[in-house]
């Protein structure tokens, strides 16, 4: 959530680095120094060794994550019509794509495959936008043949098989957000979050969630929202709200400069990796004049940040504590991050001149020196 790998609803945040279902390995995407291209890295936890695996032909891997028992990759390549993307299972023993399903999309925009992991008919499934954006396909893991469904893909992954679905009310030529339905891993509705509750966690009116994450105890769900506006900027890149998964009521909220990745969400805290040195103009913008905003700084400096409830549920009242900062060096950058299964540390994939896997402890007395670095070479 704060998220987020891909900016559009219907795309989960990068679920990597991620542990395999048996807990023996960690999969991530990072640069391979020998080829200067991205590779799928598999880190053996017992042997403490990482090995690079390359996808076939001229594909460039952009994401890898465990979906059910299988390791899936998302890759891009340039073709005459623009960018072509593929989403499919990957066999690191053979460095080869699985025969089926191979979900291929063509687009003028890179990273255009929109997908979500949610329940269908009570079982885990993969929801993927079709070539026609007014349709989407559903793949169940025991059947590689898709079910074509009419309607836009509007489901957003929330982790653990949970999902959220924004619902809208038509308002002339536009539509207003009415509520967000939260469903568990069986597809059962757990709660409905009203637009009124969502607005309390947003900058200037209720917004459609950009990303979602359920806590490990399944008691709360966090929704993240963009803050861009033509009127006045919010001082943070995102706002978020932590809602009860039983009642849909907002419990507390805050603002974050999170990088693209998965936060640790709990009832009384949200921990994430944030960009350091971001500058924002928060004054009134001249009417109809855009641009001129300071660019985000490079992604080589980050901070581990803990957010906690404030005195009220207002998004302006959440407490934000920088636990420590870390500098990767000018020629390295964060590819993605995600918490470990027990929530004790953040796994950070680093690409660039010095690719590595960082184990960043999540505890009050931790510092940059406590982060363990595994070199990828």
Q: Per-residue pLDDT tens for 331-352? A: 999 999 999 999 999 999 999 9
Question: Whole-angstrom Cα distance, residue 347 to residue 360?
Answer: 6
Which pLDDT does position 3 carry in this prediction? Answer: 34
Q: Kindly tell me if the per-residue pLDDT of 213 is higher than 60.
A: yes
> Which domains does the chain carry?
18-375 (2.130.10.10)
Q: Kindly tell me if the per-residue pLDDT of 150 is higher than 70.
A: yes
Q: Kindly tell me if the per-residue pLDDT of 202 is higher than 50.
A: yes
Is the CB of residue 177 less than 8 Å from the CB of residue 195?
A: yes
Mean pLDDT, the chain, rounded, equals 88
- Tens digits of residue pLDDT in 52-89: 999 988 899 999 998 877 899 999 998 877 788 899 99
Q: What is the CA radius of gyration of the chain?
A: 20
Q: Kindly tell me if the per-residue pLDDT of 291 is higher than 90.
A: no
What is each CA distance from 354 to 133, 265, 300, 329, 376, in whole angstroms? 39, 30, 11, 9, 8
- Tens digits of residue pLDDT in 304-316: 999 999 877 666 6
Is the CB of residue 50 less than 8 Å from the CB of residue 37?
A: no
Question: Whole-angstrom Cα distance, residue 266 to residue 251?
Answer: 11
DSSP labels, 31-46: EETTTTEEEEEEEETT
- Phi/psi for 370 (5° steps) reads -85, -10
Which pLDDT does position 351 carry in this prediction? Answer: 94
Helix (H, G, I), strand (E, B) or coil at 94: coil
Which pLDDT does position 228 carry in this prediction? Answer: 84
Q: Kindly tell me if the per-residue pLDDT of 247 is higher than 80.
A: yes
Overall average pLDDT of the 166-193 stretch: 94
Which pLDDT does position 316 carry in this prediction? Answer: 63
Which pLDDT does position 107 carry in this prediction? Answer: 64
Question: Whole-angstrom Cα distance, residue 180 to residue 364?
Answer: 34
What is each CA distance from 80 to 37, 105, 130, in whole angstroms? 21, 14, 20
Overall average pLDDT of the 114-128 stretch: 88
Q: Kindly tell me if the per-residue pLDDT of 118 is higher than 50.
A: yes
The residue among 352, 340, 333, 368 whose CA lies nearest residue 260 is 333
Confidence category of residue 109, pLDDT binned at 50, 70, 90: low
Q: What torsion, rounded to 10 degrees, do the Cα atoms 366, 24, 266, 338 define?
A: 70
Which pLDDT does position 289 carry in this prediction? Answer: 55
Which pLDDT does position 302 carry in this prediction? Answer: 96
Percentage with pLDDT > 90 across the chain: 62
Confidence category of residue 6, pLDDT binned at 50, 70, 90: very low
């Amino acid at each position: 959530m704060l998220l987020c790998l891909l900016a559009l609803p219907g795309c989960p945040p990068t679920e990597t680095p991620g542990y395999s279902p048996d807990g023996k390995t960690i999969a991530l995407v990072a640069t391979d120094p020998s080829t200067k291209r991205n590779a799928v890295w598999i880190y053996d936890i017992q042997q403490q060794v990482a090995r690079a695996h390359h996808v076939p032909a001229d594909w460039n891997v952009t994401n890898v994550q465990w979906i059910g028992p299988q390791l899936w990759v998302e890759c891009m390549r340039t073709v005459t019509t623009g960018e072509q993307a593929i989403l499919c299972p990957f066999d690191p023993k053979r460095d080869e794509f699985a025969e089926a399903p191979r979900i291929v999309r063509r687009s003028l925009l890179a990273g255009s495959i929109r997908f979500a992991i949610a329940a269908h008919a009570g079982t885990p499934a993969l929801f993927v936008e079709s070539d026609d954006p007014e349709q989407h396909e559903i793949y169940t893991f025991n059947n590689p043949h898709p079910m074509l469904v009419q309607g836009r893909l509007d489901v957003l992954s929330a982790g653990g098989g949970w999902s959220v679905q924004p619902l809208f009310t038509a308002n002339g030529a536009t539509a207003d957000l009415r509520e967000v339905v939260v469903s568990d891993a069986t597809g059962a509705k757990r709660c409905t979050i009203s637009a009124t509750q969502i607005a309390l966690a947003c900058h200037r009116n209720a917004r459609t969630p950009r990303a979602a994450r359920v806590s490990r105890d399944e008691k709360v769900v966090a929704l993240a929202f963009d803050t861009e506006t033509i009127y006045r900027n919010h001082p943070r890149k995102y706002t978020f709200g932590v809602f009860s998964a039983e009642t849909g009521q907002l419990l507390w909220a805050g603002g974050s400069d999170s990088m693209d990745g998965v936060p640790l969400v709990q009832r009384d805290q949200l921990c994430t990796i944030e960009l350091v040195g971001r500058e924002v103009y928060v004054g009134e913008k001249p009417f109809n004049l855009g641009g001129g905003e300071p660019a985000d700084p490079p992604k080589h400096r980050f901070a581990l940040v803990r957010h906690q409830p404030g005195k009220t549920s207002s998004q302006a009242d959440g407490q934000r504590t920088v636990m420590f900062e870390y500098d990767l060096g000018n020629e390295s950058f964060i590819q993605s991050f995600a918490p470990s299964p027990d929530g004790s540390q953040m796994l950070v994939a680093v690409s660039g001149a010095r690719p590595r896997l960082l184990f960043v402890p999540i505890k009050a007395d931790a510092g940059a020196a406590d982060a363990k670095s595994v070199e990828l070479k």
